[in-house]
Chains A and B, each alone.
Chain A
């Protein structure tokens, strides 16, 4: 039972971290390498909230807003000039990540910090005690998936976004403001990234480099899964399970590698990943 919960919570964490990257990659075909720095920013939002002795739940909306603002700035200054050069966009956003990281260090110092958990204690499920906060991440991930899917499939904005994903020239020709769609999508994705940082920081610690470790896994997951949030969820479940199993039955170090290696092999064999089109 504990193993099952480990798998589910790991998958939930992966999904939460990757959702923002997926939004951006799906629409703009640009991998936002600043995602790691946004995650770190989210962690520090948590830290600030802890330090100011505010209610930890407040960090969630605060992080989202901070992320959106950062996303607006990043899209305008850095990403927009590089639409035609996707490989360079990877580099530029990585450089941005370095800048954001350094600003965080200047503001908060290099030390490792710790944040408060909004939810302490344990819940018992089928006889097994398990960290309550970790369990909370599962419904959060599911709700997030649902909200994003509804947004993309059910709203006008979603339809326009999917049109832009499929054929930007045609969408522009039909009067959809592709530039604005990209702008909004990027900010949403950035906001989600920062929110993810806040959500995962109570489980370990916050330091200026915490985002980097997540970045590569998130990147690989995005490349492998298809275009929908649901397929991303499925990918996170499969790969998350693999990571947990390898960690437990082989070694935690190799477990950390599982996602990257599996994703690379999957893409080699089936370049479209899990997308079915």
Chain B
């Protein structure tokens, strides 16, 4: 790489879209300020309602566009807010006290409902399908409950004619327009902040987030509560303005309309759904009288076309010539994060497994595994395919995975705890396939990886990225420091592997699990990784556990080898011991007899040979046999 290219890459790209967005924002503010003097009564009426709906649409975009949670249920929160206004003003009259009560009720009820929905939808192991199903059920249940409320909720008629704020149409326009701009601005700031990128990380790869210690369920539930409350307040505004609340406001038809507006406006952009919602509402008001059938048909067709052909939405497409839609990619400056010094006097093992078994029904994948590993060790875990190596890694990193036995990380029993908890005990796990965040840049991914150490800000974008020394080593050695603004999707396979390793190290773990780190790497990359891993254990004192097939690689860096066969630990020792052992040769050649159920799971070479009368010729070195295995 020449100096010129380096310099060019180091300078941040011109922030084109920021200028464009500023112009758009300015236009919006102007419209809100000038509106009442320019628009007639009918249009003002329509716009005020459209503004409240647009706020709800923004919440849908945050949940769906940014976090990947397809929800039909935001209308439920909107309806709760609207009915809070309707019910309290109808039954208790209108006064400052009742207004406060109504606002409080709107916030409390939507918050509670959102917490309940979140608890139902975002538990460990929930599928996104299920979450969408629940979001479908909630508005239906709510509108049916409203329908069965008899005189109190007005049932099918809804509540009408209650006394409400005695503001002029102009005042309402400024209030609703101002609220929309405020919500839009806050949401935009939050989504482009470092904290906001966590949502995109969750959308792209939830499991990776869990293994970085991020409590995904909790984040989603908190987000849903926040969005539910915002939608509820928008509904409150709508109910207070229009003087009519009916079950349609909380039903699933409105919920699907919100989705349609977001899809057409451009999911994941915020300003797209905002503009889209307002425009579509205004157009519907004018067109559904004169061409009711054609208009709905147009909307429906546009929606289908957008989903199938243009997932990014219509409005971004229209505004692309003006420079929209391009994200500003910035490359932060790298610094070293100081870590608390490792207590070298503490020689207790970092990882202890006692009698761990894993059964799937009658299939025993792991039986009676017991072993321990210390800081500063680099343990190589080898064994033929199907021996249970990846399962063993899973049992170490996820408390719910094993069937029985105990696992302790840095002295903490993981019990049945989730991967997030294991990560908090000091575990880092690198997966076999490059498990990264496709749409985030290298810099953003690394920052999110350090969430446990430094909470990303919810409104700022930091220009500095701090990484522990060994993570910095990885980034510099593999050249990722020149690609901090590159999107992960665009990296080569080797670079993605390096990125994932750097992310895991950014956590400052005490124990690192690596599942076939050299898979798919070139010889050069392999050497690099080897040096890095070696340094991790010897220089920085981490405990590394490595699953590998490439024995050359393992020989160079491992301090100890552990052999796994048919779910049992059959041998432990130095590389030479293992490679020269009869047992291992037999295992890889496939002629070994099934190992009897030993209690501690480890047998010495001699003991095995006594129980086995194999006739494998000694000149057939196990190493050559082993290296015939597919890599």
* Chain B contact residue count (CB 8 A cutoff): 38
A267 touches B133 (CB 8 A): yes
- Report whether A99 and B300 are in contact in the complex, using a CB–CB cutoff of 8 Å: yes
* Interface locus among B51-59, B140-148, B185-193: B140-148
A40 CA to B135 CA in the complex, in Å? 24
B129 within 8 A of A: yes
Question: Which segment of A7-15, A64-72, A78-86, A128-136 sits at the interface?
Answer: A78-86
| In the complex, chain B residues whose CB is within 8 Å of the CB of A256 | 144
Q: Which residue of B lies closest to A252 (CB)?
A: B148
B137 close to A260 (CB less than 8 A) = yes
When each residue 98-129 of chain B gets 1 if its CB lies under 8 Å from chain A and 0 otherwise, what string results? Answer: 00000000000000000000001001011111
Least Cβ–Cβ distance between B292 and chain A, in angstroms = 8
User: Pick the contact of B300 from A102, A212, A216, A220 — CB < 8 Å?
Assistant: A102
Q: Which of chain A's residues 241-277 have a Cβ closer than 8 Å to chain B?
A: 251, 253-254, 256-257, 260-261, 263-264, 267-268, 271
Residues of B within 8 A of A86 (CB): 129
CA distance A172 to B178 in the complex (A): 57
- 24 A/B residue pairs, CB under 8 Å, sorted by A: A81-B308, A87-B128, A87-B129, A91-B263, A91-B307, A95-B300, A95-B303, A95-B307, A98-B299, A98-B303, A101-B300, A106-B297, A212-B253, A216-B252, A253-B144, A254-B144, A254-B148, A257-B140, A260-B140, A260-B141, A261-B141, A264-B120, A268-B123, A271-B127
B140 touches A90 (CB 8 A): no
Given contacts A95-B304, A254-B148, contact A216 B137 (CB under 8 A): yes
B293 within 8 A of A: yes
- A interface vs B, CB < 8 Å? 78, 81-82, 86-88, 90-92, 94-96, 98-99, 101-103, 105-106, 212, 216, 219-220, 223, 251, 253-254, 256-257, 260-261, 263-264, 267-268, 271
- A212–B72 Cα distance when bound, in Å, is 14
Using a CB–CB cutoff of 8 Å, the interface residues on chain B facing chain A are 70, 120, 123, 125-130, 132-134, 136-137, 140-141, 144-145, 147-148, 252-253, 256, 259-260, 263, 293, 296-297, 299-301, 303-304, 307-309, 311
Enumerate chain B residues within 8 angstroms of A271, measured Cβ to Cβ: 125-127, 130
Kindly state the separation between the CA atoms of A254 and B141 in the bound complex, as whole angstroms. 9
Q: Which of B133, B148, B263 contacts A251 (CB 8 A)?
A: B148
A31 (CB) vs chain B CBs: closest residue: B129
B301 touches A78 (CB 8 A): no
CB-nearest residue of chain B relative to A94?
Answer: B256
Known pairs A223-B133, A264-B137; list 8 more (Cβ under 8 Å): A78-B304, A82-B308, A91-B259, A216-B140, A219-B136, A251-B148, A268-B120, A268-B130
A-side contacts of B137, CB under 8 Å: 216, 220, 260-261, 263-264
Most B C-beta atoms less than 10 A away, residue of A82, A99, A103: A99
The minimal Cβ–Cβ distance linking B99 to chain A, given in whole angstroms, is: 31
